[in-house]
Structure 1
Amino acid sequence: MKRLSILVILLANLLDAQGVENNTITICWDTSFSMLSRDMEKEFEILEKIFKKNPDQTVQLLLFDIAIEEKVFQINNGDWSELKTTLTSVVPDGATVYEGLAAKIANKTVYFFTDGNALVPDEVLPVKKGNYVISSALGRNEEFLKKSALVGRGRLMDFAAILPDNIKATAAAKELPNKKEITGTVYIDNVPTNDIEIRIIGSNKIIKTDSSGKFSLPAVPGDSILITSRANKTMKTVPIGYFNNSLDVFLKANVTTLDEVVVTEQRVNAISEDLVNTGNGLKSKEEIGYAVQSIDSEDITPIQTDIRQSVQGRFSGVNLGPGEDLTQVTMRTNATILGNNYGLIVIDGVPMEQNDSSFGSSSNAASSFVNPDNVADITVLKGYAATNRYGSAGNNGVILITTKTASYGGGTGGTKNTALAQNNVYDPEAKIIITKSALTKALEAYTDMDKAYGKYLTLRNFNENNDSFYLDAFEFFKDKDRKLAARVISNLWEKNSDKESYLSLVALSLRYLGDYDAVQILNNQLNTAKPTALQPFFTEAKLQLEQKEYQAALDRLITLANGGAYGTMEVSPISKSLERELKNLIFQKRDVLDITKVAEPYFKNTQMNMRLLVEWSNAKTEFNVQFVNPQNRYFNWEHTSAANSGRIEEEVSLGYAMEEFELYDDLKGNWKINADFLGNLDRDNSEPLVLLCSVYSNFGYPSQTKKLVWLYLDGQNPKKEIIALKI
């Protein structure tokens, strides 16, 4: 009853204020998706009283969601029917963004009709003394509305505050003023895992992850969460900061490394004596007198399609970085700073070309031709075991690979080498089948975009919580009406403003449209959520490049390449992209840049026929990028746990989701590049994946061109073509 009395008083004050001669007012009318629950009748009652009190005035109307549309109406004799018709015809859609309103407001007297569901942290309405903030939406943000009115010395009319449910919610919130709900997912070996114990250190209350590995508990900044898995004998402590609302915790299990000993599951061997390959034939482990590690074909699963996957994590002290070939293996620590630290690969007794990590080396040795299905065993040799036969070439360790061909063929010669990759022939007649949604089929019937948008709004009533619905609509509008496309895709921002993967999804989509102001807001939000993440810093530089702010882009790239402002960021995973962007920027725009602080290596540009930079919305997803060459042989780059479990964990930890690819003219003809979605790590999560692909032709040359390709993948259409091109 008290709140209702306050509203009556405020309404009376509003009418008294209108008694002062004022012929111009501004109405800021929120048209975002969350305003679907507004009480139009109550808001119209207020406008009716305003125009009754002052019947002749000019109204500046600002309709705002992700963009701002301005209209002007002349009210005569209290007749505001034209304005009323306009407001009635607006269907809420898109994200709530207040930035830009202040610059548009032309009058001293302003009425803000909004629910206060700001998407940008610390944002406030541009309220000034005497302005009114009016809210009737059920799901309004009461705290934001109060803060905006208080800071601007305005007046708040919150009609929804008198509803019983909102009164109860306000009372409940006061009971835990400092607590915030922390949600998260625990992954063990990149798999969401249930029954993991979670508790705040210092508290005896224990909760457990559900069947999808998810948990939720109240915490305050400064708390530390202890995550424990007794079954997997692993634990981790995670501190809660001011920016933490959602956590992804990655734990390892099953393999424990103790110096030269690898503890694995006990297996009964079929042979009576434990023999290992030493490079000089099979010998008993008890006889050789030094440490030798070995696995056989039983340890190599069918899902492993690259020989590096068979080695990764199976041997103590054997290290492979994300995306590195087996020929780039290191054992224990690096022996030299400037020299070669890579080990030697020996296949069926024949040493392969050795890769070289030495400064200035251009070695391109690779082991991708080895088919894991044809491997009989793999042995790791170090120290004396490695050098007693292979000399200095084995100084950094040796990996012996024996193929089934050699093992079963008895060395008689003339046997077909089936260690080479098999069955990677691409059928040029095969078509990627795209299943069109009901929305896509309906929209394709229209050539008039306003009518198509009306159809979208009608069908949205049945698809409000369907992510693919908004992505299908975006795909239809993106090259036909970019303004409508931006409004449509921003709904996923409005509905998922606390989820980083959705913020990235919308940011990638808006980058395709060239809506850099909105992308900047999203990028700042991502940076605030995780200040050490690499991707927002890289995106900042890309935005500056797109807006021709070349010096700012150069400075940003150099700072990032040097490890950020404090030199503490781990940038090696994206160093190739940074280097290429820097070199190319200097090559293309050297005459307008201050390059006095640029290191000498960046002055030598990198050139290639085609450069492909792929960025994706969610690191916690699995997919392949497939390259089909002119000979119709395909090669997959795999973003999967099976291919490289450490890569996905690293992306989540360091905050990046991107990869570089290049094609040269040593194999000319028609190339095809496809993307194949395999699903999210959390199999209960049906979130689609968005890819933004920057395709550069003649990269590094004066004739360089760039094309952006946007596509999304989901369970309905998991495979799509990125681009077909001729080299």
Structure 2
Amino acid sequence: MSTKKHSAFLMILIMMTMGESTLFAQSKSNLNKIYGYVTSNNIPLKNVNISIKDKNRRTTTDEKGYYYIEASEREVVQFSFVGKKQVEVIVEDVTQFLNIKMIDDVNTLDEVLVTTESSKKRSLVRKPELSKLKTAYGEIDLRSSPFASKIIKGEDLNIGTIDLIEAIRGHIQIYEVTVKHGKKRVRILPKLYAMFSEGSGLAIWDIDGFIYEEAPHVDLDDIAYVAVLRSVAARTKYGMRGEGGVIVVVTKSSMLRKTLKAKLGINENQYKKDAFLYADKGSDIIDVFKKTDSNTSEKELYEIYKTLSVKYQNSSSFYLDVANYFRQEKENKKLSLLVLLDMEMKFDKNAEALKALAYKYQELGEKSKALNVYNKIIHLRPSYAQSFRDLANVYSENKEYQNAWDMYMRYLRRGFKLEEKGIEQVVYHEMRYLFTQKKDVAKIKETFKIEEGEEETSTSDIRVVFEWNTSEAEFLLEFVDPQLNSFVYEHSWAKNSDRISDEKLKGYSSDEFFIYDLGKGEWLINITYIGNKKYAPTYLKATVYKNWGRKNQTNRIKLFKLKSYNYKMQLFKFNSIFR
């Protein structure tokens, strides 16, 4: 992100010292023993080159795809194989197993099949520069001077932002963003033009030939090009509607799958009602408890647990499964909390296990216990942005707003920023909420400046924050609106490697999504779990805020255990009643 763009978005005006005293112990530099298997399409890959970046440590996989290598925290493990896309994994404090799935180096969404006149041979080549633009009103020849336009490649957009407007911000001049009834519109021409316009002077959107006034939901990873039509010659093709300019979006799907869609008659953006309700089946270990009857005493149940723990003591999911069983099936809060306390002591040096435990405490409403665990994590991971944000957030949940604000300020003093993506965006929104709703009780002395036009987007009907305990987690999130339109965000190395690299470098594993206007009908949030390069499950915490940023804001926390691969599950269902 450019300095200019960052300064335009930065909302905090404070006087801070350069750096902060070292309050926490630094991470160790010991080498981690890392094991795993490398496969492609579920077939083991032999002779995969594995090396530590910028080091002389290297190895190869055997005939079973197995390997072993050593690396220290923050080093990068590289996996290379001819014809496969190189994989890089940043080593963390808990990295031990890395099971790698390699994919072909040719990405069909970024390539086109062409026939050359001279050789009459077909070959895969890089996508050519856009010369003709298909719009709702026919083709525009972009090489013709009257149609001079700004062209942005999809790969250059701000992927990971909340909507199309934020994705193009910084690439084109945006003079104003207006919001009415939760619908955002954008002005890309100076207001001087609007004075002589009979229309609104606001831009319209042409998405694959369909016209929208407000910025529609589009999978940002699926965008091939964005063309901004400001010239009079280009705008006149759209008549009065185009007087404020036109933003044309061409998706990869429309370029490469148009023929297939026509043959099959499929709207790929329609929800297929193929998600199953989420259900945590626990594990086979729970079957031992299920054999007991209602007359089994509390002492006997606890003894069964202690006997099993000798065998499964190194599995954090064992403790969470047993705690869930005691709480839900036996309705025994005391036993459940005893099991979780054992887990806290057993894994007091494992940040990933502790995060799952903290999530569970938050789901159960045990806020002080969650606060204690997050304090442990920040001592284990003092260089992780997520550590500061999580502690600030749990302070806020405990209504310790002054401590929450102080922790956010420590986040900034540690060198982290407020930007338009990743955890910086999450922190910005939470700091803005504290400033606008809890300024007095939090005793905030700093000045938090909100940019013009942002006041109307500072609240929403629904805000969903997802957090996961392991940075290697990969998944697809699907949002389905009341009209069954499906919007998918893919968090995977293959699809969004830049985002995952940013998470690893800054130390965070979270994201947020907004629904500004629920409207009538029902919304769904589904997930398809891809994996996490290890044998342990991933724990996903979802915090759903209703009336985000408003005085009547409420939230609900739910913890999900992700274990089954490529299996679409429904996490949430809600409408204006919010259930």
Shorter-chain-normalised TM-score: which range? 0.5 to 0.7
CA distance in 1, matches of 2:164, 2:459: 26
Per the alignment, residue 51 of structure 2 pairs with 198
Shift of residue 610, structure 1, vs aligned partner: 3.1
Partner of 1:469: 318
How far did residue 539 of structure 1 move? 0.9
Is residue 510 from structure 1 mapped to residue 361 from structure 2 by the alignment?
A: yes
Helix, strand or coil for the counterpart of 2:561? strand
User: How much has 1:537 moved relative to structure 2?
Assistant: 0.7
1:181 matches 2:28? no
Q: CA RMSD in A?
A: 6.1
Q: 1:46-195, aligned counterparts within 5 Å?
A: 180-183=30-33, 195=48
Give the match for residue 433 of structure 2: 584
Using the TM superposition, give the Cα deviation of residue 488 of structure 1 relative to its aligned residue in structure 2, in angstroms: 2.6
Could you report, residue by residue, the CA deviation over 1:18-66 in whole angstroms, capped at 9, with x for unpaired residues? xxxxxxxxxxxxxxxxxxxxxxxxxxxxxxxxxxxxxxxxxxxxxxxxx
Contact map agreement 1:405 1:418 (CA 8 A) in 2: no
1:323 shift after superposition? 4.3
Task: Measure the CA separation in 2 of the matches of 1:611 and 1:662.
Answer: 5
Match of 1:660 in 2: 512
Task: Name the counterpart of 1:217.
Answer: 70
Q: Which amino acid aligns with 1:677?
A: Y
Cα 1:386/1:185, change in 2 over 3 Å: farther
Q: How does 1:244-263 map to 2 (within 5 A)?
A: 246=95
- The equivalent residue for 2:133 is 279
Which of 466, 470, 490 is the equivalent residue of 1:618? 470
Is residue 553 from structure 1 mapped to residue 391 from structure 2 by the alignment? no
For each residue in 1:66-94, what CA deviation from the matched residue of structure 2 results, as whole angstroms up to 9, or x when unmatched? xxxxxxxxxxxxxxxxxxxxxxxxxxxxx
Query: Percent identity at matched positions?
Result: 22
Change over 3 Å in CA distance of 1:717–1:514 after alignment to 2? farther
1:443-454 matches, cutoff 5 A: 443=289, 445-446=293-294, 449-454=298-303
C-alpha distance in 2 between matches for 1:233 and 1:695: 39
When residues 649 and 486 of structure 1 are mapped into structure 2, their CA distance, relative to the original with a 3 A threshold, is farther
What TM-score, normalized by structure 1, do the two folds share? Answer: 0.52
What one-letter code is carried by the residue in structure 2 that aligns with 1:506?
A: L
CA distances 1:637-666 after superposition (whole Å, capped 9, x unpaired) = 433345533322322222222222334554
Match of 2:184 in 1: none
**Higher RCO (Cα < 8 Å, 6 or more apart):** 2
Number of residue pairs matched? 496
* Deviation for aligned residue 1:536: 0.7
Assess if the C-alpha contact under 8 Å between 2:226 and 2:249 holds in 1.
yes
The answer as to 2:460 corresponding to 1:608 is: yes
Say whether the 8 Å CA contact 2:34–2:95 is kept in structure 1. Answer: yes
Aligned residue for 2:447, secondary structure, equals: coil
1:184 shift after superposition: 5.1
Residues 278, 669 of structure 1: alpha-carbon distance in 2 compared, 3 angstrom cutoff: closer
Q: Is the 8 A contact 1:629 1:671 kept in 2?
A: yes
Letter in 1 for 2:31: E
Cα 1:625/1:266, change in 2 over 3 Å: closer
Deviation of the 1:621 alpha carbon: 1.6
- 2:179 is aligned to none
Aligned match of 2:500: 648
Could you say if the C-alpha distance between residues 325 and 499 of structure 1 is closer, same or farther in structure 2, counting changes exceeding 3 Å?
same
Find the partner of 2:115 among 269, 272, 276: 269
For residues 385 and 316 of structure 2, the distance between their equivalents in structure 1, rounded to whole angstroms, comes to 26
Contact 2:206 2:247 in 1 (8 A): no
Contact map agreement 2:162 2:514 (CA 8 A) in 1: no
Match of 2:181 in 1: none
CA–CA distance in structure 2, aligned partners of residues 237 and 402 of structure 1:
28
Q: Residue 618 of structure 1: SS of its match in structure 2?
A: coil
Shift of 1:321: 2.0
> Can you give the 5+ residue segments of structure 2 that lack an aligned partner in the other structure?
1-23, 123-127, 177-186, 190-202, 237-242
Q: Which runs of 5+ in 1 are unaligned?
A: 1-119, 123-177, 257-263, 295-307, 355-362, 373-377, 410-414
- Tell me by how many angstroms 1:552 deviates: 1.9
Q: Normalised by the size of structure 2, how large is the TM-score? A: 0.63
Alpha carbons 2:270, 2:484 under 8 Å: kept: no
AA aligned opposite 1:557 = Y
Answer yes or no: is the 8 Å Cα contact 1:437–1:472 preserved in 2.
Answer: yes
**Alpha-carbon distance change, 435 to 278 in structure 1, aligned in 2, over 3 angstroms:** same
For residues 404-425 of structure 1, give each alpha carbon's deviation from its aligned partner in whole angstroms, at most 9, with x where no partner exists.
Answer: 899779xxxxx99968545514
Q: Matches of 1:238 and 1:434 in 2, distance apart?
A: 29
1:597 deviation in Å? 1.5
